[in-house]
């Protein structure tokens, strides 16, 4: 579920990696949210926002129209002009019906193999 979009306007060294200096253009960026980094229309990385700063202060979220620094876990290949799409991952709860299908398939596999593994 998309929650925001930002454009990378600068790249900074930070500790052990690099962070993107961004302008949030739509919605908001939220610490811990999933992100898709796109360059020239091609996805170059999918990960999680592990650091979000607004005017050098830690932030939980930054809304459209504001600048921020974004760090993504395991990613430091930022380039000016990259696009960031933030999204919230929606977990699907397993239903009893899903579970029974899985159990039936497992029982059928055992039955078809004569009970041997």
Q: In this predicted model, what pLDDT tens digit does every residue of 28-43 receive, in sequence order?
A: 999 999 999 999 999 9
100 pLDDT band (50/70/90 cuts)?
confident
pLDDT for the residue 52: 94
Q: How far is CA 86 from CA 21, 30, 57, 71, 103, in A?
A: 15, 8, 20, 13, 36
CATH number given to 2-112: 2.40.30.10
Show me where the domains of the chain are located.
2-112
Backbone angles phi, psi at 77, to 5 degrees: -90, 35
Q: For the residues 22-30, what does the mean pLDDT come to?
A: 96
Q: What is the pTM of this model?
A: 0.72
- Tell which wins on pLDDT, 82 or 101: 82
């Amino acid at each position: 579920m998309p929650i925001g979009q930002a454009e990378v306007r600068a790249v900074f060294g930070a500790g052990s990696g690099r962070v993107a200096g961004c302008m949030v253009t739509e919605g908001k960026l939220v610490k811990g949210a999933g992100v898709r980094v796109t360059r020239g229309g091609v996805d170059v990385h999918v990960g999680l926002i592990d650091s979000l700063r607004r005017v050098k202060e830690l932030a939980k979220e930054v809304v459209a129209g504001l600048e921020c620094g974004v760090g993504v876990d395991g990613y430091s290949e930022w380039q000016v002009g990259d696009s960031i799409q933030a999204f919230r991952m929606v977990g699907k709860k397993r239903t009893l019906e899903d579970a029974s299908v899985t159990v039936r398939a497992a029982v059928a596999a055992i039955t078809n193999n004569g009970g041997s593994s």
